[in-house]
Every structure is written in C-alpha cells, then in structure tokens.
Amino acid sequence: MTTFRVAFVDVYPLRLTEPGLEVLLLRRAAAGRCPGSWEVVHGSIEPGETPRQAALRELQEETGLSPERLYNLSRVEAFYRHGADEVGFIPVFAALVATDVPRLSPEHDAQEWLPLADAGGRVAWPRERRTLQDIQMLFGRGDAGPLEDVLRIEGLGD
C-alpha cells in the first residue's frame, strides 16, 4: 500500500546583491543520481529531525553555509518514489546567507550564483522553477514584506 510521509526538504540558498536576489545552484557530480543536473539543496529528513533542522543540516552539509535568516516558503511539494511506493512530502525553505563562498560536498562538482530569472532556465526540476517565481514575488525586496512575521523562522540555533 502506498505510504505518505514528510520525507525531504528543499532549501534555496539566497544572497542579496546590488542588482537583486541570486540563488545558489549546485551541479550533481557524475557518480551520484541525476549526474550533470543543476538543482538547489535537497535532502532527507533524518529520524527524530524536524524539517527546519533538516534544512539547516542539509544546507551546511552541501554548501558549508549557515543562514542569517531562514524562511518557510509556505509551500510543500510532493514526489512519488515508485521504487518504495511512497509519496514524499517536501517542505520548502529559503536561506538568506551573508557569505557567497560555498564549500561543495562530494555530491556536487560545480556551483554558481545566478539571478532568479536565469536560474529558472538552468534547474532540472519543474518544481524548482515554480518555487523561484514564488521567491521573486515574496522576497524581491530582500525580505518577506508584510508576510515576514509568518514566514521567517526564528531561533536558528536550536
């Protein structure tokens, strides 16, 4: 029987530059899944971990970055894993970072900061294109505007 669970997280590393927001894209290395594809930070939620904790851990593991601000993007994606007959739900986060020098994990062989509009043409997953549009709408000014109090996640250290 098909199972349903909150299984993964997506994290969009963002930096604010003079021209506007940029997102960090990572290219999958040849030895892993989806070799050569460009994507944002993805990862599994470990047992006993909350989606927020998983987002922070995955961001650190895949890029070495820590956010100054973390946001819930008010969207949950879904992915059907046919091999496991499971629908995995994917809470989506945006992480505003101060440094722009990521340290890549072995899962990736390249990285690039791109303006949101350019990144949409590079990413492999359609859900990432849709999320980039949401990010532009929500964070085009560098914060969540009137939604800041609802979307911003406080207490990053715990």
Which pair of structure tokens corresponds to residue 7?
């299984």
Tell me what pLDDT residue 141 has: 79
Q: Which CATH architecture has domain 3-138?
A: Alpha-Beta Complex (3.90)
The whole-number average pLDDT for the span 12-35 is 93
Q: List pLDDT tens digits, range 58-75.
A: 999 999 999 999 999 999
| Confidence check: pLDDT of 143 > 60 | yes
Q: Report the percentage of the chain scoring pLDDT > 90.
A: 85
Give yes or no for residue 110 having a pLDDT over 90.
Answer: yes
**Backbone phi and psi for residue 59, each to the nearest 5 degrees, phi listed first:** -60, -45
pLDDT score at 100: 72
Q: What's the average model confidence in pLDDT over 117-137?
A: 94
pLDDT for the residue numbered 111: 95
- Taking the chain, what is the end-to-end CA distance rounded to the nearest angstrom? 36
Tell me the domain boundaries of the chain: 3-138
Tell whether the model's pLDDT for residue 99 goes beyond 90: no
Q: Which helix (H) or strand (E) holds 29?
A: none
Statement: residue 156 has pLDDT above 80: no
- Residue 101, pLDDT score: 81
**Pairing relation of β-strands 86-96 and 8-16?**
parallel
**pLDDT recorded at residue 157:** 57
- Render pLDDT for 38-53 as a digit per residue (tens, 0 to 9): 999 999 999 999 999 9
- The mean pLDDT of 64-87, rounded to a whole number, is 95
